[in-house]
């Protein structure tokens, strides 16, 4: 993955994929750095919001999880991505109740 990123360092899909690999390897700090940077530099890359919200829940940062889910919901609505919108709303609802 890092080889591909060397050629395309700003590709959101590649950065997201690398973060997922880090999560699988339980390298949470590295994954979180990538995901947070991805949210700020590629805010329209919708898959980021669910996974980072989920990760914030895992590391007991519910306020950050709520914020990520809410931002993702707005973007999903703008992009008219109903499936992801539903997933983000469900995740937010489960967190808040």
Q: pLDDT-based confidence at 10, cuts 50/70/90?
A: confident
Q: Which domains does the chain have, with CATH numbers?
A: 2-96 (1.25.40.10)
pLDDT tens, 20-59? 999 999 999 999 999 999 999 999 999 999 999 999 999 9
Half-sphere exposure of 7 (CA within 13 A, CB side): 4
Measuring CA to CA, which residue among 79, 73, 39, 75 is closest to residue 55?
39
- 69 in Cβ contact with 49 (< 8 Å): yes
């Amino acid at each position: 993955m890092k080889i591909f990123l060397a050629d395309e360092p700003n590709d959101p899909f590649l950065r997201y994929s690398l973060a997922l690999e880090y999560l699988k390897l339980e390298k949470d700090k590295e994954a979180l750095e990538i995901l947070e940077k991805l949210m700020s530099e590629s805010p329209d890359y919708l898959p980021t919001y669910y996974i980072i919200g989920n990760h914030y829940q895992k590391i007991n940062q519910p306020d950050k999880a709520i914020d990520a889910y809410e931002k993702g919901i707005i973007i999903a609505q703008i992009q008219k991505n109903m499936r992801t919108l539903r997933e983000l709303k469900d995740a937010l609802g489960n967190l808040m109740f």
